[in-house]
């Protein structure tokens, strides 16, 4: 059996491992942390349960394919619940707007908040649906190695039809005029770790996922997706090592031949797949002489995506007024991105996002389990005092909005860009690898097959097609297919050459 080693048990690594194990490969996944799922991480503090990482789940069909491709049924492992009114957005003006897949409900709110938006809403839904369709059929299921790939027949037209040259913020102005409502839709840029004022309008397709198809949650916690993936992987005979760290990829004659662990153990494999962060893993695990296409200088020049300042707060009394997804917007949204990307500092007046899964799934946790996230630059935090100061400022803002934090809080844990970098080996704590501000970085994400080393692949959110739980899962499916196809081709070439030698 051909041996495959996957470095990292994130969703991308697990999805890829499942497909390869099912196709007859002997797959070993090595994960440095004590849980499978990578950034999709369960956290328990006393009686409070939290999902760290993916709180907003879209594209359930992608997760379903991981199971159905190997003869399993997602429904046997997971119960997905669609949230009809999924996100409550609160503005400084005091107004609020609830996002929903019910267009009539959305239009009735827009009629009061943004009459221009109310008039255009059907057109918006149609256009984001079109963007999604073009991107899905043209780009999601294949890798791109150079701009030439976009010039292949059929793709050039598809490429220009996804509005790569327009910014997301500009695109949304075609449909909405209220600054409040524009913030709601521009926030989608943060789902790819970027600024709406710089990233391409292509990513407005996220609106299709949220406003046409719906936002989902998993009963018992979204981390159940990772649990289910690792169960299926092991059921198929795959080997999962937790609490083991890879320190080097062994490369001989420009071919990957295995890995070395931090404890000195060497494991051989004909194929090595990196699921860890592209920049960190390439720098740390591959000697510079073995990666001429990615010198350390070149890797250091990438602009990292957004990181996060996260507070997990357990409130003793259930807060029925905090929605499953609840967002408090700042006074000046553009300034938030200037603070993050230009001044590389924590925003003075940030957007505060809360995920409160107990709102939908009351049995999941004691009281209210608030996952509070503020966008942060991917840089080191200065000091413990700075962290406490920032946390207190967030609590004060929430209390001004009527959320009782200090009088209710019983459990608390804070994650900064530093701790995210440390926990997942994420480059400077970036959640999604490289930002999508430059056209090159948005459309030519690091390719899945290594340029320099045969038998070495990358899978996950920092490579193609991009970050976010469904995209990284897709990348797992794509990479597995690429490896399976390569092996099939090799086998058939070998059979042909044997036949021609015999005849």
Ligand X SMILES: Cc1cc2nc3c(=O)[nH]c(=O)nc-3n(C[C@H](O)[C@H](O)[C@H](O)COP(=O)(O)OP(=O)(O)OC[C@H]3O[C@@H](n4cnc5c(N)ncnc54)[C@H](O)[C@@H]3O)c2cc1C
Summarize as ranges the residues that interact with ligand X (CB under 6 A).
7-13, 30-33, 38-40, 53-56, 245-246, 275-276, 281, 308, 310, 373, 420, 424-425, 431-432, 460-461, 467-469, 472
CB of 279 to ligand X, least distance (A): 11
**Closer of 201 and 286 to ligand X (Cβ):** 286
Helix (H) or strand (E) holding 493: helix 469-502
CB of 478 to ligand X, least distance (A): 12
How far apart (Å, rounded) are the C-alpha atoms in residues 130 and 124?
10
CB of 277 to ligand X, least distance (A): 6
CB of 393 to ligand X, least distance (A): 19
How far apart (Å, rounded) are the C-alpha atoms in residues 411 and 41?
17
Instruction: Give helix 11-22 / helix 469-502 axis angle, nearest 10°.
Output: 30
CB of 124 to ligand X, least distance (A): 22
176: left (phi over 0), alpha (psi -120 to 50) or beta: beta
CB of 378 to ligand X, least distance (A): 11
**Closer of 15 and 110 to ligand X (Cβ):** 15
**Closer of 257 and 305 to ligand X (Cβ):** 305
**Closer of 352 and 472 to ligand X (Cβ):** 472
CB of 118 to ligand X, least distance (A): 28
**Closer of 294 and 424 to ligand X (Cβ):** 424
Determine contact, residues 269/256, Cβ cutoff 8 Å: yes
Cα distances (angstroms) measured from residue 111 to each of 114, 126, 387: 6, 19, 41
Within 317-466, where are the H helices? 333-337, 384-400, 417-424, 439-443
Strand segments, DSSP code E, in 408-503 are: 409-415, 456-458
How far apart (Å, rounded) are the C-alpha atoms in residues 32 and 25?
22
The whole-angstrom distance between residue 488's C-alpha and the CA centroid of its chain comes to 31
* Strands 96-100, 352-356: pairing kind: unpaired
**Closer of 355 and 368 to ligand X (Cβ):** 355
Tokens matching residue 289: 């002489």
CB of 219 to ligand X, least distance (A): 17
- Find, among 117, 323, 92, the residue nearest to 207 by Cα: 117
How far apart (Å, rounded) are the C-alpha atoms in residues 52 and 335?
27
**Closer of 117 and 461 to ligand X (Cβ):** 461
Within 6-59, where are the H helices? 11-22
CB of 355 to ligand X, least distance (A): 7
């Amino acid at each position: 059996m051909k041996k495959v080693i996957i470095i990292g048990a994130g969703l991308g690594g697990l999805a890829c491992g499942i497909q390869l194990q099912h196709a007859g490969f002997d797959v070993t996944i090595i994960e440095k942390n004590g849980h499978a799922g990578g950034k999709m991480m369960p956290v328990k503090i006393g009686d409070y349960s939290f999902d760290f990482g993916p709180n907003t789940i879209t594209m359930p069909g992608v997760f379903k394919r991981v199971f159905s491709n190997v003869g399993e049924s997602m429904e046997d492992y997971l119960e997905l619940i669609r949230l009809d009114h999924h996100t409550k957005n609160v503005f400084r003006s005091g107004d609020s707007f609830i996002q929903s897949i019910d267009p009539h409900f959305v239009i009735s709110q827009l009629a009061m908040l943004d009459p221009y938006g109310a008039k255009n809403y059907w057109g918006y839904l149609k256009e984001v649906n079109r963007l999604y369709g073009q991107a899905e059929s043209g780009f999601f299921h294949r890798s791109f190695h150079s701009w030439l790939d976009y010039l292949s027949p059929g793709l050039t037209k598809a490429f220009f039809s996804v509005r790569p040259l327009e910014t997301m913020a500009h695109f949304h102005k075609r449909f909405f005029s209220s600054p409040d409502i524009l913030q709601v839709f521009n926030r989608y840029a943060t789902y790819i770790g970027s600024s709406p004022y710089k990233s391409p309008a292509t990513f407005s397709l996220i609106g299709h996922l949220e406003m046409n198809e719906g936002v989902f949650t998993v009963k018992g916690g979204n981390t159940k997706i990772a649990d289910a993936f690792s169960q299926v992987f092991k059921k198929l005979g795959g080997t999962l090592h937790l609490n083991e760290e890879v320190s080097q990829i062994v490369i001989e004659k420009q071919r990957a031949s295995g890995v070395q662990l931090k404890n000195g153990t060497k494991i051989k494999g004909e194929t090595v797949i990196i699921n860890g962060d592209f920049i960190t893993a390439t720098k740390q695990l591959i000697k510079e002489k073995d990666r001429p296409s990615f010198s350390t200088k070149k890797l250091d020049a990438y602009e990292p995506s957004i990181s996060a300042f996260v507070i997990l707060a357990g409130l003793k009394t259930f807060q029925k007024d905090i929605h499953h997804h609840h967002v408090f917007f700042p006074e000046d949204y553009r300034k938030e991105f200037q603070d993050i990307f230009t001044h590389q500092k924590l925003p003075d007046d940030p957007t505060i996002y809360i995920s409160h899964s107990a709102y939908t799934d009351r049995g999941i946790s004691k009281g209210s389990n608030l996952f509070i996230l503020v966008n942060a630059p991917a840089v080191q935090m200065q000091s413990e005092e700075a962290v406490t100061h920032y946390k207190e400022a967030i609590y004060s803002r929430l209390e001004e909005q009527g959320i009782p934090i200090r009088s209710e809080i019983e459990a608390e844990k804070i994650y900064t860009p530093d701790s995210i970098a440390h926990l997942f080996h994420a480059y400077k704590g970036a959640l999604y690898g490289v930002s999508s501000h430059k056209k090159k970085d948005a459309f030519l994400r690091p390719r899945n097959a290594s340029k320099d080393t045969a038998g070495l692949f990358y899978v996950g959110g920092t490579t193609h097609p991009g970050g976010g739980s469904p995209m990284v899962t897709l990348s797992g499916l794509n990479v597995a297919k690429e490896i399976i196809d390569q092996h099939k081709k090799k086998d058939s070439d070998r059979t042909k050459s044997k036949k021609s030698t015999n005849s």
